Structure 1
Amino acid sequence: MRSGESRVGDVFPDLRQPLIKQLAESGAPRRHWHAADEDGGVWLFESVEGDGEHWAIRQVEIDARRSVHRYWWGLLQDDHGFLTDQPLEIWDLTEITEEAFEAVWAAGGPA
């Protein structure tokens, strides 16, 4: 396995990594989103548009205990969760500013 390559369940390379990295490093405009659930969990997404869909390139999850989990092309998954592998359904999300997203991302620690 190459350096930086993610593994799914420590069995197979995650084939999404090159695509997510390409989208993240593109000059495509970014949009930022917020969602919350009934248990007190919060999700923030940074997305780019591709093929008419919004794809998450960075994601922050804050669970009800206020534990922060961050996902991006360099860390697609961990024992807690993973970067969403489906296009975002933006009609279910609230758009937020880039500054708001970046503040939460930075508060989660080094990438």
Structure 2
Amino acid sequence: MILLLGKNNAVERYAKEILNIDLDNDIVCYPDTTTHYSELSQWIELAREEKPPVITTQRLDMINEFFHSDLDFKVITAIESDGDIKARIVEKEKALYIKEELGLELR
């Protein structure tokens, strides 16, 4: 499983050009826009059940929920730079270290 982060256009472009995935079937955006923060754990359960290849989100609280879950995934942060698409790819444990110990945002 991949947690794909970044600005929407960079995420879409990385998914299409690098991962070669179908945006309609292989990538999910969690949570929906009406989800209250107290319901985020339900989205972790949904990910556990559905096992989507790629998950994306813009919500910091959802990212935090993923990092503290027992799900296994890589974190890819996609960025556009001078017209090129680039990415930082780290394992979940390294991403958690970057976020919590170094205080950097991954999205």
Ranked by relative contact order (alpha carbons within 8 Å, sequence separation 6 or more), the top structure is 2
TM-score (norm 2): 0.29
